[in-house]
Amino acid sequence: MDNAATALTFRAATDTDVDVLVALIESAYRGDASRAGWTTEADILDGQRTDPEGVRQVIKSPDSRLLTVERDGRVVACCQLEHRGTHAYFGMFAVSPALQGAGLGKVVIAEAERQAREEWGATEMHMTVISVRGDLIAWYERRGYRRTGEMSPFPYGEERFGIPLRDDLQFELLVKPLV
């Protein structure tokens, strides 16, 4: 087992995890704390990335789970998995900024893909990434995801998803076969 996978526990989040997960997701993407890692969106979005209600919705949805990753009893990463028929949706992915760049993200996404394939029979994993995030898209491409060119609009005006600092934001669909 490689170092990044050492002593990791994977489990579905519960209501008692909401505050810790919101803090983790915010720390990975927003504000000065996020700059410790490379996944920050602080230069393109201000405001919040998620909120307790959004996290709770994922936990409660019968077709999804918020996969929570612990090391030494501390939550260090998470991701959303949603069963959508023949494919699964991957989102709300966060790794503690202090642990980014050490291979933990690769281990988490591999486990998410395994669960979607084995538990739901998903043949593809889908995700959407803000199209101007070239470094992040390249990371996903190295994991086998491909750009589709299929774009969807950023929810401008809905501050619960963040306050855009530029006017060219949109989401691109990335897809990976799981079989």
Strand partners, 10: 69
Cβ neighbour number for residue 167 with a 10 Å cutoff: 7
**How many residues does this entry show for the chain?**
179
- pTM for this entry: 0.90
Q: Please name the amino acid found at residue 16.
A: T
**Half-sphere CA count of 61, side-chain side, radius 13 A:** 16
Report pLDDT digits (tens) over 24-77: 998 887 767 667 667 667 678 877 778 889 999 999 999 999 999 999 999 999
